[in-house]
Copies of this chain bind each other. A is one copy, B any other.
Amino acid sequence: MKYAVIGTGAIGGYYGARLANNGQDVHFLAHSDFDVMKRDGLRVDSCLGDFVIQNPQVYSSTQDMPKMDVVIVALKTVNNHLLPELLRPIVGPDTVVLLIQNGIGVEEDLEREMPGLQICGGLGFICSTKVGPAHIHHQDYGALTVVNYSAHDQERVDTIVRDLTEAGVKVDVVEYNFGRWRKAIWNMPFNGLTVVLDTDTQSIVNNGAARSLVKTIMMEVIAIANAAGVKELTEANADYNIDATLKMRPYAPSMKVDWDHHRPMEIYYLYTKALTIARRLGVPAPTLTMLEQQLRFLAR
C-alpha cells in the first residue's frame, strides 16, 4: 500500500516514520524541512529506540505525488481549509484518509468539501515534539485510536490497522463518535485552561478550585456527548481522566505549546465546533462557552 503523510511534524512524522521503518511505501510532504530531510533523512529519537529514515520519498507538493491508498493528515486544523487542494491530486475512490487531528467535527467538514471521500479519524495518545528540521523527539506513549467516519472499504481500514500495529504502534479501533468525544473529555478542559491560566496539567489538577473547574467542564463535554448519542460516557470517565492526569508528569497540551510559540490555536475544532453541536442539541455549556470566549480574546 502507498501511504502519504501530509504534515511531517511531531505526529505525522512519527507515525509515517514508524511505517517506513517497517518497510512500508511512505511518501512525505514537507515544506521548510524539505532540504534537510532529502539530505539527512527523517530522524526519530524515540523512547522505544532511535532510528533514521534514510533517503525518504519526500515532496514539496502533492501534485508531484502518485495516487495513494492511504493519506495520513497530521496538519494543525487551523490549516484545514487547504485540505481539498492538497488531497485532490492524490486521492481516488479507493483512498482512505486518516485525519490524525485534534477536536470534534474535522471529518464532517472535510466530507462536506469532498463528498464520498473515505475518511477515518486517528486519535494520537502520544508525547512527541519536533526538535529541529526533520528531527522528531518521541518522549512517551504512542498509541493511536482509529475511528471510522465514512470509509466503506473495511478491508483497507483493517490493513491500515495491521500495518501500524506491525510497525510498532499500539492501535485500537472504536466507534467514531465514542472515540472523538471520549478524547474531548480530556482535551477540552486541559488545552484551554493551560493557556488561560498559563500553567501545566499537573498544577491544575493539584489545585482544588481548578480541579473542580476541570470536572465541571468535563461534565459539560459528557452531557453534549450523551445528547449526541454517545451514552457510554459518564461521570466515571471524568473522574478517570482527572485521576490519570494526577498521575501524569506535568504536561503542556498542544494548544499550550502553540500559544507559547505564538502559533495560531486550534480554537475552532477544539471548542467552537463542539459548542455549535451543543447549541443544536439544546445542551447548556456555559463553562465551555466561557473558555472559548477567553481563548478568542487571547488570540485577538
Q: Which residues of chain A have a CB within 8 Å of any CB of chain B?
A: 196-197, 199, 204, 207-210, 212-213, 216, 286-287, 289-294, 296-298, 300
Contacts and interface: CB of A to CB of B under 8 A. Distances in A.
A226 to B, nearest CB: 18
12 contacts: A197-B294, A197-B298, A204-B297, A208-B296, A209-B296, A209-B297, A210-B297, A212-B293, A213-B290, A213-B293, A287-B287, A287-B290
A209 B265 CA distance: 15
Query: Main SS of the interface on chain A?
Result: helix
Nearest to A286: B286
A207 B296 contact: yes
Number of copies: 2
A284 to B, nearest CB: 8
Contacts of A292: 209
Nearest to A206: B300
Q: Name which of A207, A210, A216, A290 has the most chain B CB atoms within 10 A of its CB.
A: A290
Task: Pick the 10 closest A-B CB pairs, nearest first.
Answer: A209-B296, A286-B286, A210-B297, A213-B293, A209-B293, A287-B290, A207-B297, A207-B300, A209-B297, A290-B290
Given A209-B296, A293-B210, A294-B197, A286 B204 contact: no
Nearest to A287: B290
Contacts of A199: 297
Q: Name which of A199, A291, A300 has the most chain B CB atoms within 10 A of its CB.
A: A300
Contacts of A197: 196, 294, 297-298
Q: Name which of A204, A208, A296, A297 has the most chain B CB atoms within 10 A of its CB.
A: A297
A198 to B, nearest CB: 8
A296 B212 CA distance: 11
A289 B300 CA distance: 25
Contacts of A213: 290, 293-294, 297
Contacts of A212: 293
Contacts of A296: 207-210
A286 B196 contact: no
Nearest to A285: B286
Nearest to A199: B297
